[in-house]
């Protein structure tokens, strides 16, 4: 995974929007973002490592989704736009890319800057509950992703606004990164 600050130029969300300013692992950790690269191998040992991470973080369920024009049909454009709205979740978001590539953009709280995380197959990303973020495919327009869940599979996005700024999960998140 490669992380960098996004440029502020308008244009297709699937383009790199690379400012040229890299973001360190330490900075990502300071805002609660964790990542691993667990290469996909033919023997399937990557599954054991992903499940180890899931167990460490108390995740009991997972599913696999495909985001592409072929997989989503007429819903494709609507889904892509909804993923790109700035939002937060009340649970951690854990994603492991099995195929393809895409971007998770995370909001750096102190500066309100976007940090773009370009992920490809083998990358595992953990976003803390309460962090503002969004997702976009890149120019390849396809990704197959394992989503991990603490309980039953669910995905509830709370789009950014006054209600999310006042959400207890958001407040706890901000306190956790300001204290560090």
Distance CA 58, CA 105 (A): 25
CATH for 43: 2.60.120.10
Q: Is 87 annotated as a binding residue?
A: yes
CA atoms within 13 A on the CB side of 119: 32
pLDDT confidence of residue 179? 61
Point out the residues of the chain with pLDDT beneath 50.
Answer: none
pTM (predicted TM-score): 0.93
Residues 108, 115: contact at Cβ < 8 Å? yes
Q: Is 89 annotated as a binding residue?
A: yes
Within 8 A by CB and 6+ apart from 138, the residues are 14, 15, 16, 101, 102, 103, 118
The residue to which tokens 């690379």 are assigned: 18
Distance CA 122, CA 34 (A): 14
Q: Which two tokens stand for residue 29?
A: 């950790």
Cβ burial, residue 152 (10 Å; 0-12/13-18/19+): exposed
Q: Tell me the pairing of strands 87-88 and 61-68.
A: unpaired
pLDDT confidence of residue 171? 96
Asked if residue 28 is part of any domain, the answer here is yes
Q: Which two tokens stand for residue 3?
A: 């992380």
**Residue 59 belongs to what domain range?**
2-6+17-172
pLDDT in tens, 104-115: 999 999 999 999
Asked if residue 58 is part of any domain, the answer here is yes
pLDDT confidence of residue 154? 72
b/e burial code for range 3-12 (CB count within 10 A of at least 16 → b)? bbbbbeeeee
pLDDT confidence of residue 145? 96
- Number of domains the chain contains: 1
Asked if residue 177 is part of any domain, the answer here is no
Within 8 A by CB and 6+ apart from 50, the residues are 38, 96, 124, 146, 148
pLDDT confidence of residue 155? 75
Asked if residue 11 is part of any domain, the answer here is no
pLDDT confidence of residue 150? 86
Q: Is 26 annotated as a binding residue?
A: no
């Amino acid at each position: 995974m490669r992380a960098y600050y996004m440029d502020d130029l308008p244009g297709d969300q699937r383009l790199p929007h690379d400012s040229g300013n890299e973001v360190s692992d330490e900075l990502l950790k300071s805002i609660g973002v964790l990542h691993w690269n667990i290469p996909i191998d033919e023997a399937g040992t990557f599954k054991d490592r992903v499940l180890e991470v899931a167990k460490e973080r108390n995740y009991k369920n997972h599913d696999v989704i495909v985001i592409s024009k072929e997989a989503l049909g007429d819903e494709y454009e609507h889904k892509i736009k909804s993923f790109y709205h700035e939002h937060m979740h009340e649970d951690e978001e854990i994603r492991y890319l099995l195929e393809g590539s895409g971007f998770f953009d995370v909001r750096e709280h102190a500066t309100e800057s976007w940090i773009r995380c370009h992920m490809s197959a083998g990358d595992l990303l953990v976003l803390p509950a309460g962090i503002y973020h969004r997702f976009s495919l890149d120019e390849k327009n396809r990704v197959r992703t394992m989503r991990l869940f603490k309980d039953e599979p669910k995905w509830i996005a709370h789009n950014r606004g006054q209600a999310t700024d006042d959400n207890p999960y958001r407040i706890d998140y901000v306190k956790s990164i300001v204290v560090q």
